[in-house]
Amino acid sequence: MSTRAKALGAAGAILDGYHRDSAGILRLGLPVFSAGSYAQDQKMRGRVIDYRCALEFPNAVRVKPGNLIFGDWDGVLVIPQEAEAEAIRLALEKVRGESKVRTALESGMSTQEAFARFGVM
C-alpha cells in the first residue's frame, strides 16, 4: 500500500489504526503516522474507498482537501485552510521565543527566570 501510495504521489499517510513493515516504509521515505506498528497484514480489512475527499477521525477532527497537515514524532496537526496564515505566524513566533529560552538556559538562566522573562517554555 505504501509503495503504491508513493508511486501515485502521496506525500505521506495518516492512519486511524496500525501500520506494518516499518523498515520498508522508512526506506521509501514516506512519512506514516498511525497508532503504532502491528505485524499483521490487512487482508480483507483494508481497502481504498475514496480519495481527495473530506474525512473524519473518530473523536478527533474533520480533515478536508486543502487543509495544511503537519506531522512529526509527537503527532499530527490539521490546520484548516482559512486559519493557515495565522497558525504559521503564531508557530514561528513561538519558535523564536523558545529559541531565546534555550539560549538563556544554556547560558545558565533558571527555568523560572526564563519563563518570567520570555513567557514561553
Which CATH topology does 2-79 take? Glucose Oxidase; domain 1 (3.50.30)
Say if strands 55-56 and 62-63 run parallel, antiparallel, or are unpaired: antiparallel
pLDDT tens for 35-91 read 888 887 777 666 777 777 888 877 777 888 899 998 888 888 899 999 999 999 999
Residue 3 clears pLDDT 70, i.e. is over it = yes
**72: which 3 cell numbers?**
512529526
Output the pLDDT for position 45. Answer: 67
pLDDT tens for 95-113 read 999 999 999 999 999 999 9
62 has which bridge partners? 56
Residue type at position 17:
G
Q: What is the DSSP letter of 19?
A: B
Pick the residue with more confidence: 23 or 73?
23
